[in-house]
Amino acid sequence: MGITEGPRSRQRARAERAAVDKFERRRAEIADSALVTLAANGYAHTGLRDIAQNSDFSHGVVHYYFSDKLDLMQHCIRQYKQDCVKQYDEILETATTSVELRDGFAEAMAETLRDESTLHRMWYDLRNQSMFTAELVGVIKEIDLLLEQMIWRVVERYADLADSPPTITSPVAYALYDGLFLRSLIDFLAGDLEALETLRRECAALLVRLCP
Amino acid sequence: MGITEGPRSRQRARAERAAVDKFERRRAEIADSALVTLAANGYAHTGLRDIAQNSDFSHGVVHYYFSDKLDLMQHCIRQYKQDCVKQYDEILETATTSVELRDGFAEAMAETLRDESTLHRMWYDLRNQSMFTAELVGVIKEIDLLLEQMIWRVVERYADLADSPPTITSPVAYALYDGLFLRSLIDFLAGDLEALETLRRECAALLVRLCP
Amino acid sequence: MGITEGPRSRQRARAERAAVDKFERRRAEIADSALVTLAANGYAHTGLRDIAQNSDFSHGVVHYYFSDKLDLMQHCIRQYKQDCVKQYDEILETATTSVELRDGFAEAMAETLRDESTLHRMWYDLRNQSMFTAELVGVIKEIDLLLEQMIWRVVERYADLADSPPTITSPVAYALYDGLFLRSLIDFLAGDLEALETLRRECAALLVRLCP
Amino acid sequence: MGITEGPRSRQRARAERAAVDKFERRRAEIADSALVTLAANGYAHTGLRDIAQNSDFSHGVVHYYFSDKLDLMQHCIRQYKQDCVKQYDEILETATTSVELRDGFAEAMAETLRDESTLHRMWYDLRNQSMFTAELVGVIKEIDLLLEQMIWRVVERYADLADSPPTITSPVAYALYDGLFLRSLIDFLAGDLEALETLRRECAALLVRLCP
DNA sequence: CATGAATGAGCCTTCATTCAT
DNA sequence: CATGAATGAAGGCTCATTCAT
């Protein structure tokens, strides 16, 4: 490495980088496809075959890019976060009053429930798997932490705007919001349309409750 | 029916009742066995064969007593509640002060987490399945309601003893406690022993928070 | 035996006869039920379970009265003939001209096809089985002979009335009529309603052709 | 397509064609094997596992190449015709007198019965299945038509050579010959060796009867 | 490098039969 | 005598994975 490297080696390095990029790009594409199928059928009823079939890739390709079903699952879970946390940070940045933040956040939660219910049941399904499958614990923790931090940023900012410090810790706040969301998700998927309104109302109410 | 019924018919009726009883008893035995296996391996990795193997029954018997895998699952879920709600009602009856109730309840929750973690991860697993499998929705709702009512009895009694009415509805109280418990369960099964203490503390704190 | 038989033994004999009768009656009842199920699903897709379920009898009873699935099948085949040959002999007796006989017979064949198509597909199914299962050959031959004789009675009587002796043997006449009927049956069950008319026409034509 | 296609795309196209060919070749190989087992045991007693075992292929391969048991059955039926119609056309081409054709045809029928009895009982078995299983109707009709046409070619050619037009339609001619053959097949498989001679004689006689 | 072919263990379910009562 | 209980082999089919090319 260094000055003595000739053009040949540089070329090879570039090629390797490009190959790695392509490799990762493919993995991402496949995982994207897999997420759709997982969201539709659930972990227990999703085979690698189904995933391949619902994608542009062949059965063999999936195995080429992932060493394992678990390998793919881990990648899927990581990919999930990208479709997930973004929108909430926008609200944080634009809200100027505590009420605006509270209602904006509550509305965003309800929208998430309405528009991405199947994606989120998949999340809960995979998180559940992690209680049975040690290999998934790590990656699940990663995402759980990300979600917890997102919730906590909302709570802290709300406390700031409302000028009343939170009486709770970050993990507990996340646990409570998660409980609220999961309940609403179950009800919503069981056909209860009021679940949307309930979730909105209670998300707002909980924010107040946590910063009394 | 009535006086004219001879001993023959009475005898047959008794025999039929006994047969039905035996049938139900067997179903219960099998479901009990199944619960253990489900708790150990999770829904996705539990076959009817595994269930049979981990029991005193042959593979065929399971199919003789249950028309279906779902039929068995439904029975399992119903059975689960029996091992579940009992102990909490004791606390309700014996507690005489709000503090006693609060701490007793918190302690019971922690004990449940410590002693029956695998049973409860199975519950969450099956409840999750119900988001993908319509046939399970009904029975899951049944148990969810039972648990909600249990939580609500605690909250109401606490409010009574503390003389401060709850500022929350029954479903929301359940959602929050469920969120708390599920979080602790995940952490506990991932090896976090503090989860027990955290759950105890936060269960108590939440009771106060709900009846401020 | 003989004169020395006392009333006791006579009584026992009567009881035994009654028992045997009941036994045979039951076998007949069960076989009747079985015929319906076989006609509906075909031999390959009919289990003893299905037969029991579609009857007033329990799974165990079927095995009590029949030593074997083949035993039941044999009984079924024998039972089949009873629903079958009767009506044709009526025509023989009432017809007074060759035309009357010819048309009556053709009409009866068409009616059989229309009204008992499933029963007859079952017959062909079981007869086919006899080509794979030696135990069925005997009983199938029995019925085949019965049917052959029935056809032959028609042909002979027709020849008589038309005063033109048949130019064919009994087995061949049966083979030809059987070919005609089977073809029409296949077409009819495949939805071809013309099969009825074709069968009627060709049955009549064949009679003429056989006694030219 | 066209001039602008590079060698790469041409290569791939060739590869794909080769792959499809190989796929179809394998299906044919498996179906060939299946025919042997079906001919031996009959549809009702032939499992996909038996078929695999009596072949060079593993249990999984059969399912890899056929989506379904019915899929395989359909392919089997289609394959059957190839081993079937060929020889008869030879006779048509070589026969120069009506007697030669008549006797050649009759002889061919008898040979078929003698040499391929099990293959043909399988044909009748699967055709019977089509009366119970709608999915098989189409492919059975296909082959039935082929056989009917074959018979009709014989009849027409005979009429030509004998200079006496047929007094029958194509479907009826087939039905009658089929009846004759099926009867002989049943007798032959039941051990009646005269069935061969009878079939020969009656096939010839029927030809005369149809063109009087 | 990439992929379709192939595997065989495992899935849920059905089967004809035997057995205990 | 009659029957529901119980069996375990076999049914069609899916699975994650390995392999040859």
Buried b (16+ CB within 10 A) or exposed e, C184-202: bbbbbbeeeeebbebbbeb
On whether the CB atoms of residues D163 and D95 are closer than 8 A, the answer is no
Q: How far is the CA of C58 from the C1' of F4 (A)?
A: 9
The CA–CA distances, whole Å, from B207 to A151, B148, B183, B202 equal 22, 14, 17, 8
The pLDDT score that the predictor gives to residue A73 is 94
The pLDDT score that the predictor gives to residue B4 is 46
Q: Which residue has the tokens 């009675």?
A: C153
Q: Per-residue confidence of chain B (212 residues) as pLDDT tens digits? A: 444 444 455 555 666 667 778 899 999 999 999 999 999 999 999 999 999 999 999 999 999 999 999 999 999 999 988 778 888 989 999 999 999 999 999 999 999 999 999 999 999 999 999 999 999 999 999 999 999 999 999 999 999 999 999 999 999 999 999 999 999 999 999 999 999 999 999 999 999 999 98
Band (C1; pLDDT cuts 50, 70, 90): very low
The CA–CA distances, whole Å, from B136 to A50, A131, B94, B141 equal 23, 21, 36, 9
DSSP state of C191: T
Task: Name the H helices within chain C.
Answer: 7-41, 48-53, 59-65, 69-82, 86-94, 98-115, 117-129, 134-162, 170-189, 194-210
The pLDDT score that the predictor gives to residue B86 is 81
Band (A162; pLDDT cuts 50, 70, 90): very high
Q: Which range, of A192-196, B15-19, B196-200, C111-115, averages the lowest pLDDT?
A: B15-19
Quick check: D201 CB within 7 A of strand F? no
Distance from the first to the final alpha carbon of chain C? 60
- Could you read off the pLDDT of A8-17 as tens digits, one per residue? 666 666 666 6
Q: Which residue has the tokens 């190839």?
A: D82
The pLDDT score that the predictor gives to residue D137 is 97
Q: Which nucleotides in chain F lie less than 7 Å from some protein C-beta?
A: 1-19
Q: What is the SS3 assignment for D189?
A: helix
- Across chain A, what does the average pLDDT equal? 91
The domains of chain C, with CATH numbers, are 7-210 (1.10.357.10)
The pLDDT score that the predictor gives to residue D143 is 96
Q: What are the backbone angles phi and psi of residue D193, rounded to the nearest 5°?
A: -75, -20
- Could you read off the pLDDT of C59-72 as tens digits, one per residue? 889 999 999 899 99
Q: What are the backbone angles phi and psi of residue A37, rounded to the nearest 5°?
A: -70, -40
Q: Please check the confidence at residue A93 and state whether its pLDDT lies above 80.
A: yes
Q: How far is the CA of D79 from the C1' of E10 (A)?
A: 32
- Mean pLDDT throughout C179-201? 98
The pLDDT score that the predictor gives to residue D13 is 63
% of chain D beyond a pLDDT of 70: 92
- CA dihedral C187→C191→C196→C198, nearest 10 degrees, is -50
The pLDDT score that the predictor gives to residue D15 is 63
Q: Exposed/middle/buried for B161, CB within 10 Å: 0-12, 13-18, 19+?
A: middle
Q: How far is the CA of B4 from the C1' of E10 (A)?
A: 57
% of chain D beyond a pLDDT of 90: 84
- Mean pLDDT throughout C175-193? 98
The pLDDT score that the predictor gives to residue D5 is 47
DSSP state of B168: S
- Mean pLDDT throughout C110-138? 96
Distance from CA of A3 to the nearest CA of B (A): 48
The pLDDT score that the predictor gives to residue D12 is 56
Q: Which residue has the tokens 């910063």?
A: A211
- Could you read off the pLDDT of C70-91 as tens digits, one per residue? 999 999 999 988 777 878 989 9
| Record: contact A190-B121, CB cut-off 8 A | no
- Which residues of B have a CB under 8 Å from any CB of A? 41-45, 121, 124-125, 127-133, 137, 140-141, 144, 167, 171-172, 174-180, 182-186, 189-190, 198, 202, 206, 209, 212
The pLDDT score that the predictor gives to residue B2 is 40
Band (C2; pLDDT cuts 50, 70, 90): very low
State pTM to two decimals: 0.87
The pLDDT score that the predictor gives to residue C205 is 97
- The rounded distance, in Å, linking the Cα atoms of C34 and C40 is 10
C and D touch with 3+ CB pairs <8 Å, answer yes
Q: Please check the confidence at residue C4 and state whether its pLDDT lies above 80.
A: no
Give the nearest nucleotide to D63, CA to C1'.
Answer: F13
The pLDDT score that the predictor gives to residue A6 is 56
- Could you read off the pLDDT of C18-70 as tens digits, one per residue? 667 778 888 999 999 999 999 999 999 999 999 999 999 988 899 999 998 99
- Which of D127, D183, D198 is the closest to C178 by Cβ? D183
- The rounded distance, in Å, linking the Cα atoms of B74 and B80 is 10
Q: Which range, of C81-90, C170-179, C180-189, D65-74, averages the lowest pLDDT?
A: C81-90
Which among D142, D183, D185, D208 is the top mutation candidate for probing chain C, defined by the most C β-carbons within 10 Å of its own β-carbon?
A: D183
The pLDDT score that the predictor gives to residue A7 is 60
- Across chain C, what does the average pLDDT equal? 91
Q: How far is the CA of A27 from the C1' of E2 (A)?
A: 14
| Record: contact C176-D178, CB cut-off 8 A | no
- Across chain D, what does the average pLDDT equal? 91
Band (D2; pLDDT cuts 50, 70, 90): very low
Q: Please check the confidence at residue A5 and state whether its pLDDT lies above 60.
A: no
Q: Which range, of A112-121, B14-23, D153-162, averages the lowest pLDDT?
A: B14-23
Q: How far is the CA of B122 from the C1' of E17 (A)?
A: 37
- The rounded distance, in Å, linking the Cα atoms of C192 and C194 is 5
| Record: contact A131-B185, CB cut-off 8 A | yes
Q: Which nucleotides in chain E lie less than 7 Å from some protein C-beta?
A: 2-19
Q: Please check the confidence at residue A119 and state whether its pLDDT lies above 90.
A: yes
The DSSP-derived string for A151-198 is HHHHHHHHHHHHT---SS-HHHHHHHHHHHHHHHHHHHHTT-THHHHH
The pLDDT score that the predictor gives to residue D84 is 80
Quick check: A63 CB within 7 A of strand F? yes
Give the nearest nucleotide to B72, CA to C1'.
Answer: E12
- Could you read off the pLDDT of A42-80 as tens digits, one per residue? 999 999 999 998 999 988 899 999 998 999 999 999 998
The pLDDT score that the predictor gives to residue C3 is 46
Residues with CB under 7 A from strand E: A 22-23, 57-61, 63-64; B 46-50, 59-60, 63, 67-70; C 45-50, 59-60, 63, 68-70; D 19, 22-23, 26, 57-61, 63-65
